[in-house]
Amino acid sequence: MVKKNQTLGEFIIENQAAFPYSSGELSRLIRSIRLAAKVVNHEVNKAGLVDILGLHGETNVQGEDQQKLDVYANEKFIQTLINREIVCGIASEENDDFITISGKNNDNKNKYVVLMDPLDGSSNIDVNVSVGTIFSIYRRVTPIGTPVTAEDFLQPGNKQVAAGYIIYGTSTMLVYTTGCGVNGFTLNPALGSWYLSHPDMKFPESGKIYSINEGNYVHFPEGVKKYIKYCQEEQEDRPYTSRYIGSMVSDIHRNMIKGGIFIYPKSSKANNGKLRLLYECNPMAFIVEQAGGKASNGYQRILDIQPKKLHERAPFFCGSKKMVEKAEAFMEEFSS
């Protein structure tokens, strides 16, 4: 039974039986992510007071400029997961390849791999806009006791056993699912504890908000352009309100609470879209579906896509179910 204001630790213990392959290992993994999130949150809150704003001076595997906080968050999450000896492999948006974890006390015996975007929306940190961390957890498919391979990470999103995000904003929240609904926990910075503040989170079936970077309008497919015009029409239930933060975690978090759709489509500048299937689309799609929403690439369910490479990109439509279905109808009607 969900009890509002119980701690995350209490919630994990009480609901452990509902976790897939319940053995305690997944519970420990969630607690490790909780710890790393507190460390990163502390550093995010010091931004502006210490030398952690701005560019790091290097680019990641996608050719994007890394922010100092990107690198810091990436190192802290990887370090925490390795030190706790709780996973057998890690893949990060910031790393060229996956990390195999083995050593004196970890002979590849652990069952889970973690994929993550350590700091989504990090370009916003310099202007004090909310950013987030996204994580995805799979049970390995290669034999336990052997080093992980790419096969363990290149699983479709429907094989996830848990996924979540941390949003670092006016308050810091950890929102996650293990396939039994979505629950949100707010950090009390004075105590360092996470408390259940948003039990059983649900997307409204429809909403009034559409979130898309309209600055790229001329580069969008015709179906997306038509849907935007539909959102702007003067009708009994429209126009909708345009709200775009530029941090996917923040945009989707708001839309889950208020009702809305988030779209990052392919374009003439990015034929496969910009968002990463494994680190962003799959975990957010799992959360969205568990909250009663819908997530697709405009034509196909995101969670059914078979990944072919670690840093694969995909168009992304997610949010309130009726709004996503309407956008899909426009994509189908105006597909080239």
- Residue 92 and residue 323: Cα distance in Å, rounded? 31
- pLDDT at residue 130, rounded to an integer: 85
CB atoms within 10 A of CB 101: 21
pLDDT tens profile 284-323? 999 999 999 999 999 999 999 999 999 999 999 999 999 9
Handedness of CA 267, 247, 199, 185 (dihedral sign): positive
- Residue 152 and residue 155: Cα distance in Å, rounded? 7
Question: How does residue 58 score in pLDDT terms, banded at 50, 70 and 90?
Answer: low
- Any known ligand binding at 26? no
- pLDDT at residue 243, rounded to an integer: 96
The region that residue 22 occupies, defined by phi over 0 for left and psi between -120 and 50 for alpha, beta otherwise, is beta
Structural domains of the chain, ranges and CATH numbers in brackets: 8-198 (3.30.540.10), 209-333 (3.40.190.80)
- Residue 316 and residue 267: Cα distance in Å, rounded? 12
- Residue 26 and residue 139: Cα distance in Å, rounded? 10
Cβ atoms of 318 and 172 within 8 Å: the answer is no
Cβ atoms of 212 and 266 within 8 Å: the answer is no
- Any known ligand binding at 119? yes
- pLDDT at residue 24, rounded to an integer: 76
pLDDT tens profile 102-134? 755 556 688 999 999 999 887 777 777 788 999
- pLDDT at residue 45, rounded to an integer: 75
- Any known ligand binding at 70? no
Q: Of the ranges 52-61, 80-89, 178-187, which is most confident?
A: 178-187
**Residues 86-94, mean pLDDT to the nearest whole number:** 93
Going by C-alpha positions, the residue among 163, 110, 129 that lies closest to residue 248 is 129
Q: What is the pTM of this model?
A: 0.92
**48 has a pLDDT exceeding 80:** no
- Any known ligand binding at 336? no
**235 has a pLDDT exceeding 60:** yes
The values of phi and psi at residue 117, to 5°, are: -110, 100
Is residue 67 helix, strand or coil? strand
Count the helices and strands in the chain (H runs, E runs). 8, 15
- Any known ligand binding at 145? no
**242 has a pLDDT exceeding 80:** yes
Cβ atoms of 160 and 152 within 8 Å: the answer is no
- Any known ligand binding at 280? yes
- Any known ligand binding at 274? yes
Adjacency order of strands within the sheet including 294-296: 241-242, 209-211, 260-264, 316-319, 294-296
The rounded Cα 272 to chain-centroid distance in angstroms is 18
Structure tokens at 106: 């970890």
